[in-house]
């Protein structure tokens, strides 16, 4: 029964995470993805590669004041909840799938990823506040580094959860098949 409760809570956390991610992917990201000379520019916190002050200036100019305001007031507000939802889902998955030593390691990875995400959000808030005219590499580079750290830590967390998820799914399938 205890394991079922863990799976149920994980399912509920995944529903919340899916709703937040859907709002992000289908609402804010398209609004924050201007097209410049045929190239779609992605929001800072969605970029897989490094971005520098020139990239940031170009992006903020393409967004304009209304887009910058949307990023600051909507995207960063949504991003207050998304890291917590990702952490909660990862922690509940680790609790459902793994014994204590592995569980703790996965939860530590998830904490580090959420922490990097919140630090990145603070750096992006400062970057957006400065606007394109006042950006320097001293403002942009830390945000860029935090974006990459965040993405790597979230990837490592997901990869750490994958074996447990596959084993649990296999066990559930075997039980279903035997019944």
Encode pLDDT of 68-112 as tens digits: 999 999 999 999 999 999 999 999 999 888 888 999 999 999 999
- What's the rounded Cα separation, in Å, for the pair 147 and 121? 9
pLDDT of amino acid 139: 95
Distances from the Cα of 39 to the Cα of 48, 49, 59, 91, 145, angstroms: 16, 15, 11, 38, 23
Does position 1 have pLDDT exceeding 60, yes or no? no
**Phi and psi based region of residue 131 (left: phi greater than 0; alpha: psi -120 to 50; beta: remaining):** left
Encode pLDDT of 11-58 as tens digits: 888 899 899 999 989 999 998 999 988 889 999 988 888 999 999 999
Residues whose CB falls within 8 Å of the CB of residue 35, separated by 6 or more in sequence, listed in order: 41
């Amino acid at each position: 029964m205890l394991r079922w409760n863990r799976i149920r809570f994980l399912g509920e956390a995944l529903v919340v995470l899916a709703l937040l991610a859907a709002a992000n992917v289908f609402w804010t990201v398209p609004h924050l993805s201007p097209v410049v000379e045929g190239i779609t520019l992605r929001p800072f916190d969605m970029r897989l590669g490094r971005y520098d002050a020139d990239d940031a200036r170009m992006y903020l100019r393409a967004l304009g004041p209304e887009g910058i305001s949307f990023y600051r007031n909507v995207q960063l507000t949504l991003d207050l909840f998304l890291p917590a939802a990702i952490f909660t889902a990862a922690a509940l998955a680790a609790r459902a799938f793994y014994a204590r030593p592995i569980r703790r390691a996965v939860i530590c990875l998830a904490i580090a990823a959420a922490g990097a995400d919140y630090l990145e959000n603070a750096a992006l808030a400062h970057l957006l506040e400065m606007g394109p005219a006042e950006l320097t590499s001293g403002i942009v580079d830390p945000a860029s580094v935090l974006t990459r750290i965040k993405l790597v830590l979230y990837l490592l967390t997901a990869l750490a959860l994958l074996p447990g998820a596959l084993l649990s799914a296999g066990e559930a399938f075997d039980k279903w098949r035997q019944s």
